[in-house]
Structure 1
Amino acid sequence: MSQNHPLSDDQVGQELRKMTAFIKQEATEKAREIEIKANEEFAIEKSKLVRQETDAIDTAYQKKFKQATMSQQITRSTVANKTRLCVLGARQELLDDIFTAAEQRLDEAAKDKGRYEGVLKGLILEGFYAMNESDLQIRARKADHGLVRKAIEAAAAEYKETTGKEVRATIDESDDLPEGR
């Protein structure tokens, strides 16, 4: 038997254990590197998913906030409109009551010719001041034409006295006011 360098079984076993330890060491280090890289990739992916979900939650919140704001504005507007309608309804009711009362009082005042003529003169004079025109037409009930003519003369005289301006007013007989009012 030729022996070059014979290794004893102990030496072979020792070499095998060294090689096995080296391979295990290399495998452990490689496993640690893989684990570290996997943990880094996991952290990156987790961060990305958290960011995406946060963005989705923010977007959903924004949308719901806008919807809530719009709903609140609609409700506020609806309440304001209902309030306006109530106020307008109450105002109209009050005006109707005032017109009814004025109509009744006007009917009573028309029975007292002297007082009624004074009221007509005052109304016509107020119209002269408001219109500030030199030529006017006045509408009246057919039954009141005589009293209105007298009131026009008295109002025109007072208007001229206070303003120094002439005013000419006539009754529009083609378009009489209805008798009931």
Structure 2
Amino acid sequence: MVAFINQEAVEKAREIEIKADEESAIEKSKLVRQETASIDAQYERKFKQAELSQQIARSTVTNKTRLKILAARQQLLDDIFEKARVKLAEVSKDEENYTTILKNLILEGLYALGEDKIQVRPREKDTELLKKAIQQATQEYKEASGADVSITVDEDNFMPEDSHGGIFIVGTGGKITINNTLEERLKIIQADCLPVVRGSVFGENPNRKFYD
């Protein structure tokens, strides 16, 4: 009887031990899975953070490089127009060519104002050349429009001698004026033709989809 009870106790103890081992293995496996998932999640989070940091770093470097390129290009364009501005001083040295320029500036003013009387202000040293240009412009305007026009030189209000030339046009009554100095024309070119100049110097921008 004692042997039977001992045998039952041994078997019961074995069952309890086996069940405990099974539960321990299950719990251990569960903990391992949980820890593994936690480690994977931490790794994924750190990986994404590292990837985001790299993207931000690359973007920062790219933007800085792009800004440097844009600044260098703008400086080059500024230098181009500054050299053009310096060369304006040489335009009036070729009297024949400069007279033609003055004539065309006068004609532009006549067509823009549409008046039969205008006054022009040159540099004092350009007075004689301007008078020749006025004769040419008057004749050409009459041939084109059939209208006579009176153009006088304002010898009381000359343009500054340190200007690069051109003329200042005043309409009847002095209410309407046109700044047709060479400096002003260069400003207009710089403003209106900058995209063309930029394209000529640097080529067309492949990322630009629309053009004015």
Larger radius of gyration: 1
- Total equivalences in the alignment: 161
Give the unaligned 5+ runs of structure 1: 1-14
CA root-mean-square deviation? 3.2
1:22 maps to amino acid: E
Partner in structure 1 of residue 24 of structure 2:
38
Partner in structure 1 of residue 56 of structure 2:
70
Alpha-carbon separation, structure 2, partners of 1:50 and 1:175: 91
Following TM superposition, by how much is the alpha carbon of 1:166 offset from its aligned partner in structure 2, in angstroms?
Answer: 8.1
Instruction: Encode CA deviations 1:33-85: one digit per residue, 9 max, x unaligned.
Output: 11111111121122112112211211222222122112211211111111111
State the TM-score, normalizing by the size of structure 2: 0.60
1:16 maps to amino acid: V
Whichever structure has more helix as a proportion of its residues is: 1
Does the 8 Å contact 2:102/2:130 carry over to 1? Answer: yes
Partner in structure 2 of residue 95 of structure 1:
81
SS at match of 2:161: coil
SS at match of 2:160: coil
Percent sequence identity over aligned pairs = 19
Partner in structure 1 of residue 93 of structure 2:
108
Q: How does 1:74-153 map to 2 (within 5 A)?
A: 74-103=60-89, 105-109=90-94, 112=95, 114-125=96-107, 127-128=108-109, 132-135=112-115, 140-145=122-127, 147-148=129-130, 150-152=132-134
Following TM superposition, by how much is the alpha carbon of 1:118 offset from its aligned partner in structure 2, in angstroms?
Answer: 2.1
User: Measured at CA, do residues 170 and 65 of structure 1 come closer, stay the same or move farther in structure 2, by a change above 3 Å?
Assistant: farther
User: Measured at CA, do residues 72 and 163 of structure 1 come closer, stay the same or move farther in structure 2, by a change above 3 Å?
Assistant: farther
User: Measured at CA, do residues 160 and 32 of structure 1 come closer, stay the same or move farther in structure 2, by a change above 3 Å?
Assistant: farther
SS at match of 2:12: helix
Q: Structure 1 stretch 135-144 or stretch 52-61: which is displaced more?
A: 135-144
User: Measured at CA, do residues 23 and 99 of structure 1 come closer, stay the same or move farther in structure 2, by a change above 3 Å?
Assistant: same
User: Measured at CA, do residues 44 and 118 of structure 1 come closer, stay the same or move farther in structure 2, by a change above 3 Å?
Assistant: same
Following TM superposition, by how much is the alpha carbon of 1:116 offset from its aligned partner in structure 2, in angstroms?
Answer: 3.0
Does the 8 Å contact 1:142/1:179 carry over to 2? Answer: yes
Following TM superposition, by how much is the alpha carbon of 1:165 offset from its aligned partner in structure 2, in angstroms?
Answer: 7.9
User: Measured at CA, do residues 72 and 166 of structure 1 come closer, stay the same or move farther in structure 2, by a change above 3 Å?
Assistant: farther
Is 1:49 the counterpart of 2:35 in the alignment?
A: yes
State the TM-score, normalizing by the size of structure 1: 0.69
Does the 8 Å contact 1:134/1:166 carry over to 2? Answer: no
Give the unaligned 5+ runs of structure 2: 165-212
Instruction: Encode CA deviations 1:104-124: one digit per residue, 9 max, x unaligned.
Output: x22422xx3x54322211333
Is 1:179 the counterpart of 2:161 in the alignment?
A: yes
